């Protein structure tokens, strides 16, 4: 699978205001809307083998992981479309001279997975079977939704498709990069059916995807739920973790996992209690939004609106 240099070049040209699109759009991207691009030259070394490119809490940009072993290098998430994938590949090459490359995604959403096509054909893509099921069911629907938001997003995503996996696994998979081992765990459904987390064993670094972040979680699909998300958090809680790198937002320690479990546990117990008292779904959603907001005030305030739909799911699950 070859890098589409024409797409990347055209995107840069558009951002610079040179010319207009020739792919059916009537105007160039809106300069008032920053393009969701991975940062160059900002990879941070967070442990002996792990580098992270932080998203700086920008929308549609994920935190990127690059794990460098003696023999091989693993990239976790690749950004939105081929131009971002090119940037991630360049950054990985700056940090490692390894010829052997692996790439994985925390889940199938466009900003996490659709840069993988920019990597050389010899790169090994690894997926859980659950993640592949998401791809089979939803295909490019998530990317199409992003493309409809703006011309900028449409250009970024032009020509991007999900890379076919070379290796599939069921529940967990161990990857030896030479001197460092990455354990991969299929823990979904939570945010999506195919949520996958990655533990860099020797360094105690966990790439937690959207399963645990310092922000209000979003139940993103038909397989999401309070009970299953709690099960995902309970599955990763026993892991020996010193640093958590979420899909989005700032890094933290293992307390990030505990805080997310607390959020879902409170949703679950309070929704069941209020429903048993005869409260309606609307009342439960309103009450839990009021109750949980001050308890999680260190989470980004723009996500408060996610409490209500999560409370409604908890209400529906309560017996």
pLDDT reported for residue 72: 98
pLDDT value of position 175: 98
| Site of tokens 């290796």 | 167
pLDDT at site 65: 98
Contact predicate 154/127, CB 8 Å? no
Work out the percent of the chain whose per-residue pLDDT is above 90: 87
Return the pLDDT at 268. Answer: 98
Quote the crossing angle between the two packed helices 307-317 and 281-295, to the nearest 10°.
Answer: 130
pLDDT at 64 exceeding the cut of 70: yes
Q: Is 70 exceeded by the pLDDT of residue 132?
A: yes
Task: Report residue 302's pLDDT band, with 50, 70 and 90 as the boundaries.
Answer: confident
Tell whether the model's pLDDT for residue 118 goes beyond 60.
yes
Q: What is the pLDDT of residue 16?
A: 40
3 pLDDT band (50/70/90 cuts)? very low
Helix axes 5-15, 81-95, angle to 10 degrees: 100
The DSSP annotation for 23-63 comes to SS-SS---TTS----PPSS--EE-SSSEEEE--TT-TT---
pLDDT of residue 34: 78
The CA–CA distances, whole Å, from 219 to 24, 151, 211, 310 equal 34, 27, 10, 7
Q: What pLDDT shows up at residue 220? A: 87
The pLDDT score that the predictor gives to residue 108 is 97
Residue 32: pLDDT band by 50, 70, 90 thresholds?
low
Q: How far is CA 232 from the centre of its chain?
A: 15
- Reference 316, options 255, 261, 268; nearest CA is 268
pLDDT digits (tens, 9 = 90+) for 188-219: 999 999 999 999 999 999 999 999 999 999 99
Pairwise CA distance, residues 277 & 168, whole Å: 47
Across the chain, what does the average pLDDT equal?
91
Count of CA atoms in the C-beta half-sphere (13 A) of 167:
16
- Answer for the pair 239, 199: CB distance below 8 angstroms, yes or no: yes
Q: What is the DSSP code (8-state) at residue 189?
A: S
Q: Tell me if 52 sits within 8 A of 64, measured CB to CB.
A: yes
Cα–Cα distances (Å) from 135 to 40, 44, 60, 143, 178, in that order, read 29, 31, 19, 11, 31
Residues 233-291 have pLDDT tens digits of: 999 999 999 999 999 999 999 999 999 999 999 999 999 999 999 999 999 999 999 99
Mean pLDDT of 140-148: 94
């Amino acid at each position: 699978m070859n890098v589409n240099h024409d797409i990347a070049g055209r995107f840069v040209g558009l951002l610079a205001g040179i010319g207009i699109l020739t792919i059916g759009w009537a105007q160039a991207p809106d300069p008032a809307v920053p393009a969701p691009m991975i940062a160059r030259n900002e990879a941070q070394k967070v442990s002996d083998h792990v580098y992270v490119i932080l998203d700086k809490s920008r929308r549609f940009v994920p935190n990127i992981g690059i794990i460098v072993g003696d023999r091989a290098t693993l990239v976790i998430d690749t950004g939105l479309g081929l131009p971002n994938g090119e940037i991630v590949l360049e950054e990985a090459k700056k940090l490692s001279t390894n010829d052997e490359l692996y790439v994985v995604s925390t889940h199938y959403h466009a900003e996490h997975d659709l840069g993988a096509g920019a990597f050389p054909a010899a790169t090994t893509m690894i997926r859980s079977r659950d993640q592949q099921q998401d791809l089979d069911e939803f295909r490019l629907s998530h990317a199409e939704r992003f493309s409809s938001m703006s011309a900028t997003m449409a250009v970024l995503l032009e020509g991007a498709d999900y890379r076919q996996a070379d290796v599939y696994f069921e529940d967990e998979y161990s990857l030896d990069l030479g001197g460092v081992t990455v354990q991969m765990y299929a823990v979904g459904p939570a945010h999506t059916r195919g949520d996958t987390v990655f533990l860099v064993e020797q360094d105690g670094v966990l790439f937690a995807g959207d399963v645990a972040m310092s922000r209000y979680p979003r139940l993103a699909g038909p397989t999401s739920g309070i009970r299953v998300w709690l099960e995902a958090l309970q599955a990763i809680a026993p892991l020996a973790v010193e640093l958590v790198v979420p899909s989005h937002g700032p890094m933290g320690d293992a307390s990030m996992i505990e805080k997310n479990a607390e959020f879902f546990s409170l949703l679950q117990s309070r929704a069941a209690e209020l429903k048993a008292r005869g409260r309606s779904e609307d009342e439960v959603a309103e009450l839990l939004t009021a109750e949980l907001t001050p308890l999680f005030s260190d989470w980004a305030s723009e996500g408060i609106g996610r409490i209500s739909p999560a409370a409604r799911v908890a209400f529906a699950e309560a017996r």
